[in-house]
Structure 1
Amino acid sequence: MNNKTFNHIPCGQTLPLNNIHAVSVSMPSLQDVIDYEEQTPEILEKITTAYPRFIIHPYLKLLANYLKEKYEVCDNYEIILLSSQKAVKAVSCRYFIHNKFEFDEPFGVIKVLKGRQYQKVLKFIQHLGYNLSSRLAQDYLYKVGRIPKLHDEELENESKAKEILISTLAKAYKQPSQNVCLNPSGMNAMYCVLKGIKNIQARNGRTVLVQLGWLYLDTMNIVNHYFEESKIFYDVTKLDLLEEFLKKDGLKVSAIITEIPTNPLVQTVDLERLKNLCNTYNIPLVIDSTFATPYNLDLNSYADIYVESLTKFACGNADVLMGAIILNQNSKISHISYEFFKHADEPYIKDIQRMAYQIKDYEKRVKKISSNTKKLVNYLQKASFIDEVFYCLSPDFRENYEKLMIDENSLCGIVSVTFKKDFRTVYDKLNFAKGPSLGTEFTLLMPYTYLAHYDLIVSQKGQKLLKQIGLPTNLLRISVGTENIEDIINEFEKINEI
């Protein structure tokens, strides 16, 4: 078969291609993924930029070195750059970092001892999402002559950008503009919400956070950092277990957090029943709506707080790190928005300009992706090489999902599959873009369990946990793009040749 639409992308190439602000990176073979997880020297030479919360951006490294020279920081320390002084305080309080030296910069700067402490602080920042913008670093470096040029890209007018962004989200979520708050990353939006929940609910003796479903890795890490007590219900279908727990401890629960649909198995909880439980015990419901998008599912009757990673479908091009908190005006807690918004940092203006330019096509992009996803699912369900397909309208979740659909084509743009053929061979043969992230206009594959939970794959205890939560090791998550659907299907047809 001769498919010229999708071509092999060498390991380490940015996704999107030739974009210094890209948040994804090509990992075309499963061995590339394994080498990345094991941090082999060979792979680190190839992969110099990737998801900014996981790998320090090249411009941030350059800027850190420049500031070490500028402030004559000795070699025993490393410089870490953050989005603001607010971020510095959050990190310093956790790790008791007290810099006697003042860094006079319009962003956050801390110095940390090399070695173990440096790595621990970096991991903590990964969870909090207070990352310094690569565009801010670029502008700084260009101004001081450390880089020769700025990346050429389309930006919305500076005076209109924030209004466009906020008003688009407000209209999409059917909320007033003052109920929308921007964050430097989706993970930071989640952190700010959980921090606000803790501050509010601790006064009422509500100290237990309930996680419903196997949530995204860093969401669970934030919970572990900030909540002494948390309860996880891995299976979103077994609300009887949650109900029994709430009968005993419902008045201790500060909030319930879940993803709609879940990542990566694309399952949808019975939201009507869940909301009734929340109402009974006066518990706020936090929904990560990144997969749902405001254009696929209507969550307005259920969510007290939405969190969306705008880096995904809202951007569509995987070149802006940004998130948003949206408070439901019908919620009992919407009047205390300051508790959720006060921890947030304003994203860098050029990130806002870029996102405002991209978000204008948000609805159109989602509708095209939804249409493609429906056709791809129909194909995959009949394909002889497929073992199992996980998608929004799988039989176990059809009724739950259909209640929320905005129209008949509102299919979430994520499909996860397992194969009857060797996973490594299948993964290596496909020429789609392959790497972290999702929601892109280009079809993007990710070997989810390998990239998100490699530590579980390589341990016996971890393998047992994966089996317990029903997460297959050899799972391929497909973020469906806007390309011609026949070209997408033809690329998958190559698996028949194996």
Structure 2
Amino acid sequence: MKSKDIISQEVGAPIPNYTAHAVSVTLPTWEANVGYEEGQEWVVNKMNSGYPRFFIHSWIQELSNLLELSYGKDGERCMIFPTYKIAKSCRKFIKEKTLLSNCNVRILQLSTPSPTQGEDESIRIETNFSVVYFPSSEYPLAKQYWQHAGQGISSRMGEYILSELKPKLLELSEHNSKDLQQKQKAKNKTSRRSSSLRSSSSTATAVTEKEYSTFIEERFGRNLDLRFNKEARIILQKRISTKINEADDNQKNKLSKDDVYLFPSGMASIFNAHQAILLSFPERAAKQKSVCFGFPYVDTLNILKKWGQGVHFYGFGDDDSLLELERKLETGELQILTLVCECPSNPLLKTPDLIKIWELSRFYNFTVVVDETVGNFLNIHVLPYCDILVSSLTKVFSGDSNVMAGSLVLNPSSEHYQILKQTLDEELYEPESFWAEDAIYLERNSRDFESRSSRINENAMAAVKLFQETPLIKNIYYPFLSPTRKHYDALKTPKGGYGGLISIVFANENDARCFFNEVKLSKGPSLGTNFTLCSPYVILAYFQELDEVEKWGIDRNLIRISIGLEDRSELIDTFQKALKVVKEQHDALEE
């Protein structure tokens, strides 16, 4: 893979280049990341792409505008979800959190046409979706649900619906407004550039990207038949269950594909895991809080805070924290519903003592949910030590950075297996929430998951060795170097490595900025991509809470690097060139 085929240094451009459904976006300098967080126009006005839970894709924006004009009432905004059940969940969240004394939230169910006789079923599929309408003042609440729960329609689903319904929606909107242009102008003043969204993507740009995307996808044989979407889902479930089973020949109860659930994003998997526990144990859920063990990705903590009774936060996630938790459980000071953790944690790459946590959970009767996105189930085998295993398939499982997805896996050996499975199957899980075309793309992308994961592990170890030799770097966070390595090694599979995610902290803030600005790699959010991706992670994820997160050992100048598949010597050379510039600048300032 040639870096020049991926890298963009243009603010707001998709990563990879010319990818209409890219899940990352270029923020090429430290200043651009700060500007994005501060809402500075020189950044936000160029944002033509973004991580989909934070940035609503231009096709979804256009579809939302048309649905507001066609079916909306005065002062209403809308959001689009793939099923009625998810739309009801969003409506419930808005009505519970609103400060309005009378907040009218309504749901409209719509569908695209099914193929008629003689039409090509390979490119047309009947698609049902639901639209939640709410007062425009409550848009920030709706956006919170979109971001935290991760269950909004995907950009591919939005593109498909738009292609099928746009003429009808235009006709309806013209009928409902004597002066469509005037109404649209008025809506645009208050619509798409809120502080929480910070986007100004244009349809024209999206069309241009679509042309490039179509060319690239056809060139690589990735325009696949929509009729195969059910088969693609089954293959994905079997691929995941088979790889997990291979990690443990002694596993008593082998994992079935039916224990693997697919969702439209990794956060949707976490959200549904938490919902499954709340619904499965209602009496305890009404009284007991959850535990978040270790410093997690931001929206995991948001889910635990905003649904259920709240959360006890053990942000250090180390052995001392576990001893403190055990003491409180033993004395009865705490009775908890569930414990949620990452393995390893993001961004400090700490591995919790899952074996001990599992023992405590069986004794004190709480469930365990583990997010193994960073480790991935080829490197570590954690299913025996949790009730529910969740992962973002958007990351290394896909690799191509062009599709969002998540998985939820039930442990068939868990004493809570039957009740959790019943809850998921009867009350929560809807296969159609994961859009057909996304399933097809994910199946295609993940065929070489195993070989890619292995190469990423090897590249990452080489990068870590280089950083260890760099005196200007004061901290390197990586499972192999972590004080918690013994816990990681206890979970590591025979062929597993230590993953592709590395976090580094320079001793000097100016050195961190210089390195990030100089390194000639893709720069944007996300991880697990086939190409190396850098981000000033703490600035981007916690800009409003920098002082707070530092209490948990999270340095504001931390740079997170997700290692990719580049030629190893080329990758190391890229890092060395940036480090050389850093040293030259550092020495000049010291003189």
Q: Please report the TM-score for the alignment, with normalisation by the length of structure 2.
A: 0.79
Structure 1 segment 329-340 matched on structure 2, within 5 A: 329-336=412-419, 337-340=421-424
RMSD: 2.1
> What residue in structure 2 maps to residue 381 of structure 1?
468
Asked if residue 202 in structure 1 is aligned to residue 286 in structure 2, the reply is no
SS, match of residue 301 in structure 1 = helix
Matches of 2:155 and 2:332, distance apart in 1? 44
> What residue in structure 2 maps to residue 429 of structure 1?
518
Pairing partner for 2:355 from 228, 252, 272: 272
Once the two structures are aligned, what percentage of the paired residues are identical? 27
The amino acid of 1:230's aligned partner reads V
8 Å contact kept, 2:542–2:549: no
> What residue in structure 2 maps to residue 118 of structure 1?
139
Asked if residue 369 in structure 1 is aligned to residue 456 in structure 2, the reply is yes
> What residue in structure 2 maps to residue 183 of structure 1?
263
The amino acid of 1:9's aligned partner reads Q
Deviation at 1:203, TM superposition (A): 2.4
| Change beyond 3 A, Cα 1:229–1:76 | closer
8 Å contact kept, 2:383–2:389: no
Deviation at 1:5, TM superposition (A): 8.4
SS, match of residue 415 in structure 1 = strand
The amino acid of 2:153's aligned partner reads L
Per-residue CA deviation, residues 328-382 of structure 1 (Å, 9 max, x unaligned), is 1111111121323532443010000000111111111111111111111111111
> What residue in structure 2 maps to residue 400 of structure 1?
487
| Change beyond 3 A, Cα 1:66–1:377 | same
Deviation at 1:74, TM superposition (A): 4.2
Between 476-485 and 118-127, the greater mean CA deviation after superposition: 118-127
Deviation at 1:40, TM superposition (A): 2.1
Deviation at 1:83, TM superposition (A): 2.1
Structure 2, unaligned runs of 5 or more: 96-102, 112-127, 168-202, 246-254, 583-591
Asked if residue 143 in structure 1 is aligned to residue 164 in structure 2, the reply is yes
SS, match of residue 94 in structure 1 = helix
SS, match of residue 375 in structure 1 = helix
The amino acid of 1:177's aligned partner reads K
Pairing partner for 2:110 from 104, 114, 122: 104
Between 484-493 and 433-442, the greater mean CA deviation after superposition: 484-493
8 Å contact kept, 1:367–1:409: yes
8 Å contact kept, 1:371–1:409: no
Between 255-264 and 223-232, the greater mean CA deviation after superposition: 223-232
> What residue in structure 2 maps to residue 282 of structure 1?
365
> What residue in structure 2 maps to residue 163 of structure 1?
234
8 Å contact kept, 1:251–1:281: no
Structure 1 segment 316-327 matched on structure 2, within 5 A: 316-327=399-410
The amino acid of 2:270's aligned partner reads M
Deviation at 1:229, TM superposition (A): 3.6
Deviation at 1:173, TM superposition (A): 2.1
The amino acid of 1:57's aligned partner reads H
Matches of 1:43 and 1:345, distance apart in 2? 38
Per-residue CA deviation, residues 67-115 of structure 1 (Å, 9 max, x unaligned), is 23333x345222211222111100111223645674434212022222x
SS, match of residue 550 in structure 2 = helix
> What residue in structure 1 maps to residue 580 of structure 2?
496
8 Å contact kept, 1:161–1:356: yes
Which has the higher Rg, Structure 1 or Structure 2?
2
Deviation at 1:222, TM superposition (A): 0.8
| Change beyond 3 A, Cα 1:207–1:35 | same
Pairing partner for 1:442 from 506, 531, 548: 531
> What residue in structure 2 maps to residue 77 of structure 1?
76
The amino acid of 2:526's aligned partner reads S
Asked if residue 61 in structure 1 is aligned to residue 142 in structure 2, the reply is no
Structure 1, unaligned runs of 5 or more: 458-462
Matches of 2:224 and 2:504, distance apart in 1? 38
> What residue in structure 1 maps to residue 30 of structure 2?
30
Per-residue CA deviation, residues 302-328 of structure 1 (Å, 9 max, x unaligned), is 121101111111110111111111001
The amino acid of 1:27's aligned partner reads L
> What residue in structure 2 maps to residue 91 of structure 1?
90
Asked if residue 357 in structure 1 is aligned to residue 434 in structure 2, the reply is no
Structure 1 segment 295-310 matched on structure 2, within 5 A: 295-310=378-393
SS, match of residue 403 in structure 2 = coil
